[in-house]
Amino acid sequence: MANHEQAVERLKTGWTPTEEVILKRRSVRMYKKEQVPEFMVKRILEAGRFAPSAGNGQPWKFVVLREPEIIQGVTETTIQICKIFKSLIDYRIPGKRWRLPIAKLNILFKPADLHPMPFGAVTLIADRKLGLYHGAPTVIMIFKDVRGISNPDLDCGIAGQNMVLTAHSMGLGTCWVSFAKLAFQYTGKWKKRLGIQYPYKFTTSLAIGWPVGEPDAMISRPTHEVDWYENGIKTVVH
Ligand SMILES: Cc1cc2nc3c(=O)[nH]c(=O)nc-3n(C[C@H](O)[C@H](O)[C@H](O)COP(=O)(O)O)c2cc1C
Residue 175 Cα to ligand 1 midpoint, Å, equals 6
Residue 177 in contact with ligand 1 by CB distance below 6 A: yes
Is the CB–ligand 1 distance for residue 178 below 6 Å? Answer: yes
CB-ligand 1 contact for 179 (6 Å cutoff): yes
**Contacts for 82 with CB less than 8 Å, ≥ 6 apart:** 122, 123, 125, 126, 179, 182
Q: What pLDDT, on the 0 to 100 scale, is given for residue 112? A: 65
Ligand 1 and 27: CB distance under 6 A:
yes
Distance 26 CA to ligand 1 centre (A): 9
- Phi, psi for residue 63 in degrees, rounded to 5: -125, 120
Centre of ligand 1 to C-alpha 192, Å, is: 27
Find residue 21's DSSP bridge partners. none
What's the pLDDT score for residue 85?
Answer: 83
Ramachandran bin of 14, using left for φ above 0, alpha for ψ from -120 to 50, beta for the remaining angles: left
Element (H, E) at 89: helix 68-89
- Closest-CA residue, ligand 1 atom 15, reads 176
The CA 176 to ligand 1 mean position distance, Å, reads: 5
Contact 56, 235 (CB under 8 A): no
Q: In whole angstroms, what is the distance from residue 130 CA to residue 138 CA?
A: 18
Question: Does residue 161's CB lie within 6 angstroms of at least one atom of ligand 1?
Answer: no
Q: Is 133 in the pocket of ligand 1 (CB under 6 A)?
A: no
For residues 22 and 218, is the Cβ–Cβ distance under 8 A?
no
- How far does the centroid of ligand 1 lie from the alpha carbon of residue 28, in Å? 9
Cα dihedral 67, 71, 77, 78 in deg (nearest 10): 170
Of 31, 155, 158, 178, the one to substitute when testing ligand 1's pocket (max ligand atoms within 8 A of C-beta) is 178
What residues form DSSP beta bridges with 174? Answer: 27, 208
How many other β-carbons are positioned within 10 Å of the β-carbon of residue 167? Answer: 26
Q: Name which residue sits closest to atom 2 of ligand 1, judged by CA.
A: 176
pLDDT at 214: 95
pLDDT score of 86: 84
173 alpha carbon – ligand 1 mean position (Å): 13
- Residue 66, H or E segment: none
pLDDT of residue 92: 72
User: What topology is assigned to 25-68+131-209 in CATH?
Assistant: NADH Oxidase (3.40.109)
What DSSP string runs through 146-214? TT-SS-HHHHHHHHHHHHHHHHHHTT-EEEE--TTHHHHHS-SHHHHHHT--TTEEEEEEEEEEPBSS-
Q: Structure pTM?
A: 0.92
For residue 181 and ligand 1, the question of a CB distance below 6 A is answered with no
CA distance 25 to 31: 15
Domain ranges in the chain are: 25-68+131-209, 74-126
Residues of the chain with pLDDT under 50: none
Phi, psi of 215 (to 5 degrees): -70, -25
Provide the 8-state DSSP code for 27: B
